[in-house]
Amino acid sequence: MSLANRTLDVALNLLVNAGLEPLIQYTPSATVVAGLVISASPDSGAIVATNSVVQLTVSNGSITSPGTVAVPNVVGLTAQAARDALFAASCSSVQYLWTINAATAGTVLSQSPAAGVIVAPNSTVQLTLSQGPTKVSSTVVVPG
């Protein structure tokens, strides 16, 4: 079974519970509903080391708008709250990097570009999120 066409929340839960680090890239899509996974790399069923990064490409729908926007401050928010704030500000491409950290899992630790930077609409904002405390390393199968 594939991670494609699953909701982001379902895919994230599957990956994190399997001991993997999701890297999320949002991209516009005219054919895949916003919030659904378009693809994953490596594919479901691949055997990888625990804490390996699995990149999810997620649809944010078909979004276009003129002008420029200021990037909001999302440090300290949850991943979902940060995504919502960024989308509300027309920063519709969000990339998530996960790191092992003592902070609560899913908390935004840093962002790039920084808050207040002026960008074109639909620009990518990279968020570094806490995965929570250190996990024991072994190998796992990418779920799907």
Closest CA to 109 of 142, 137, 78, 71: 78
pLDDT in tens, the chain (144 residues): 689 989 888 998 899 899 999 998 888 776 777 788 999 999 888 999 999 999 999 887 755 445 777 788 899 999 988 998 898 888 878 899 988 888 899 999 999 998 877 788 888 999 999 988 876 666 778 887
Fold identical between 1-62 and 66-133? yes
Give the CA angle between residues 47, 33, 38 to the nearest 5°.
Answer: 20
User: Is 3.30.10.20 the CATH number for 1-62?
Assistant: yes
In sequence order, what are the residues at sequence separation of 6 or more whose Cβ sits closer than 8 angstroms to the Cβ of residue 33? 59, 61
**pLDDT attached to residue 65:** 47
In contact, 18 and 141? CB cutoff 8 Å: yes
In CATH, the number for domain 66-133 is 3.30.10.20
pLDDT of 64: 46
What is the domain partition of the chain in residue ranges? 1-62, 66-133
Q: Please identify which residue in the block is written with the tokens 């899913």.
A: 106
What's the token pair of residue 73? 């401050």
Helix (H, G, I), strand (E, B), or coil: what is residue 84? Answer: helix
